[in-house]
Structure 1
Amino acid sequence: MTRPTSRDVAQAAGVSQATVSLVLADKWRGRVSERTAESVRRSARELGYRPNLAARNLRLGSTRTALLVVPALTNEFFARVYTGAAKVAAEHGFGVVLYPSPDGTGPARDPFASARAALDGVIASSMAAGALEAIRGEDLPLVMLDSDPATVGPAHVNLDMADGMRQVAHHLLALGHRRFLHLASAVDSWTFEVRARTLEQVLGQVEGATLTTVAEQLSVEAGRVAAETALAGLHPRPTAVICDDDILAAGACKAARRLGLRLPQDVSVTGFDDLTLATAVEPELTTVQLPAEQVGEHGMKALLALLEGRPWNAGNLPVQLAVRGSTGPATP
């Protein structure tokens, strides 16, 4: 099948190729009407037209700038992702602008008058592809990190979150634990859905294993309150608390101490991410190490591949359980 060209779009919309170029480069305001611009965009969508990025850069000039969109700056993970992306970008003469979305994982607002005119591409971490529509429009290259591969296509970089949760579950099962509390993140995100689903699948295959799940916001205080309530209210009490994040795990550790429980003799606690916090608590936290910088590095490499018209085929990045003092054998 012949790939549609800008001439095809121009003919379908009844305008010149120059007008098509202006509209798709988002430089039409003050030159053509809103009605004409919408007609061009509609024709491009219907034809499945995608601009030739290499030719576009030759005509319009490349900004050599990428935007990294994250849902928050309160989590150290995203800072590490930025570090990795910026490192690879610098090696190729690119810059990376970090943008914490004001609406978290929800639809992100365009931080510029027009991102499509100011950027060469977008990298987004731990968000849904649909949340980037206002920024990228229809033609700005997009790479998704830690996102549902079923909805974002081939240009994505994921960690093996499912394997990370399997490692946590198998570690605790080997220590004799059968009563589990899952302190889950209340954030509506694919990465947390994978963790919850995997944990349920693994424990569902173990005779005698029980699982109680409590979802809470990602903060130490929220984790403390939720864990304290659950540990005090469940009978028999869970012997292990599996947390979606090290921040929640720190709250669970505080809850155990306030209830007079010893870690790990009375209750074991695990985290996820291996933030600096994981080795700042006592005992140090058993947690899943996520190579966040590698995520950023691969994300930038994937964007460069898109810009150069090369395919991107990279499997999930492996993760590793770091066993520390917060887990131990189960007690009756």
Structure 2
Amino acid sequence: MARGSTRPTSRDVAQAAGVSQAAVSLVLGDKWRGRVSETTAQRVRDAARDLGYRPNLAARNLRLGHTRTVLLVVPALTTEFFAGVYTGAARIAAEHGFGLVLYPSPEGIGPARDPFASAQSALDGVIASSMAADALTALRGGDRLPLVMLDSDPEGSLGAATVNLDIADGARQVADHLLGLGHRRFLHLAADVPSWTFDVRARELATRIAAVPGTSLRTTKAPISIEGALTAATAALASPAPRPTALICDDDKLAAGAYKAVRRLGLRVPDDISVTGLDDLALATAIDPELTTVRLDAELFGERGMQALLAVLEGRAPEPGDIPVQLVVRDSTAPPNAP
């Protein structure tokens, strides 16, 4: 349809698709399910694309009383994992005509300041990743905003939905791998962060290892940094207690610090001590030997979080089930040396 410089309207799309303007609004507003057929919806989308039609979102949002804006709150902007969460969430948001604002709350503990004059008037919902509950008070304003929690206890979640990675299975995979290699003395280098996800890791490791006779497990905590892990691991490995043959780290950064501690004590990875991480960051293959770790699909995590919020906004049940994780075995683990 030749229109020169005239901008196509929803009426033009309706005429081209052979449907009503109401049907066009339903389809382009992503509210067509159960109201028009998939064939009709596709015909409308094709007509809009061919005409170069772009809906006036500002006017529509004023009519509907929604901003089509979502806030993603993460503990930090400098972590590769949370960059992946944002990428996945932003992809799904864009597909549904939503904007995604990224906002950090330091260390994942609160309270996070409201980045708007009033989050309730500026947002349609909040996705909070790895957040302590009290960090959300200012943002939600008395529970008026729909909330999806990521990496959070589903039994005590404040959110309308919770999306989790199967962290418990990741911890079991690590324990089973090391036990299968013959390790019996373990050191857990745990993240010094009050968080449900780290509690799950500690509990699952302890349960899995204790189920095998003749095993021992010590735990020492460290900040999630290479230097913090170096200090904590050095002290634990230099203690008079029997030296562990395997060091299980809550994070790949902790594992990198553990590598430095092992080498400063004149030991080798994995000849004298095996080391594992969790996340499968780029760091895992940058260190030598390459790190055995648990791969977490951060982008899928973000996608599922945004999909869950869309479901909540539309009154649907989000997709159930935790997101699977995978142990990636590399050269940092091996059978222990004979005593």
Q: TM-score range by the shorter chain?
A: 0.7 to 0.9
1:184-263 superposed matches below 5 A: 184-263=190-269
Q: CA deviation at 1:225?
A: 1.1
Distance 1:106 1:265 in 2: 42
Distance 2:254 2:332 in 1: 14
1:173 and 2:143 correspond: no
Provide Cα deviations, 1:171-193, integer angstroms capped at 9, x if missing partner: 00011100100000010000100
Distance 1:187 1:294 in 2: 24
Counterpart of 1:275 (choices 273, 281, 298) is: 281
TM-score (norm 1): 0.81
Aligned pair count? Answer: 276
Deviates more, 1:223-232 or 1:150-159: 150-159
Counterpart of 2:149 (choices 138, 144, 163) is: 144
Aligned to 1:69: 73
Q: CA deviation at 1:277?
A: 0.5
Determine if contact 1:129/1:144 at 8 Å carries over to the other structure: no
Distance 1:198 1:111 in 2: 37
1:135 and 2:139 correspond: yes
Stretches of 4+ aligned residues off by more than 6 angstroms: none
Q: CA deviation at 1:107?
A: 2.3
Aligned to 1:122: 126
Determine if contact 1:129/1:151 at 8 Å carries over to the other structure: no
Q: CA deviation at 1:236?
A: 1.8
Determine if contact 2:252/2:283 at 8 Å carries over to the other structure: yes
Which residue identity is paired with 1:123? I
Aligned to 1:12: none
Which residue identity is paired with 1:143? V
Provide Cα deviations, 1:262-301, integer angstroms capped at 9, x if missing partner: 1111000000001111110000000000011011000000
Determine if contact 1:69/1:122 at 8 Å carries over to the other structure: yes
The structure-2 alpha-carbon separation of the partners of 1:186 and 1:103, relative to structure 1 and needing over 3 Å to count, comes to closer
Give the root-mean-square deviation of aligned CA atoms.
Answer: 1.4
Question: Secondary structure of the equivalent of 2:73?
Answer: strand
Determine if contact 1:105/1:189 at 8 Å carries over to the other structure: no
Q: CA deviation at 1:154?
A: 5.4
Q: CA deviation at 1:76?
A: 1.1
Distance 1:130 1:233 in 2: 37
Distance 2:297 2:75 in 1: 18
Deviates more, 1:161-170 or 1:104-113: 104-113
Determine if contact 1:128/1:148 at 8 Å carries over to the other structure: no
Question: Secondary structure of the equivalent of 2:197?
Answer: helix
Determine if contact 1:63/1:119 at 8 Å carries over to the other structure: yes
Which residue identity is paired with 1:159? L
Q: CA deviation at 1:211?
A: 0.7
* More RCO (CA 8 Å, sep 6+): 1
Larger radius of gyration: 2
Aligned to 2:10: none
Distance 2:107 2:300 in 1: 26
Q: CA deviation at 1:150?
A: 0.8
Q: CA deviation at 1:65?
A: 0.7
1:106 and 2:110 correspond: yes
Aligned to 2:296: 290
1:90 and 2:94 correspond: yes
Identity of aligned residues (%): 70
Distance 1:261 1:116 in 2: 55
Question: Secondary structure of the equivalent of 1:327?
Answer: coil
Counterpart of 1:330 (choices 307, 317, 336) is: 336
Q: CA deviation at 1:310?
A: 1.0
The structure-2 alpha-carbon separation of the partners of 1:103 and 1:252, relative to structure 1 and needing over 3 Å to count, comes to closer
Q: CA deviation at 1:95?
A: 1.0
The structure-2 alpha-carbon separation of the partners of 1:330 and 1:288, relative to structure 1 and needing over 3 Å to count, comes to same
Aligned to 2:20: none
Provide Cα deviations, 1:25-76, integer angstroms capped at 9, x if missing partner: xxxxxxxxxxxxxxxxxxxxxxxxxxxxxxxx77552211100001112321
Distance 1:321 1:142 in 2: 31
Which residue identity is paired with 1:120? D
Which residue identity is paired with 1:61? G
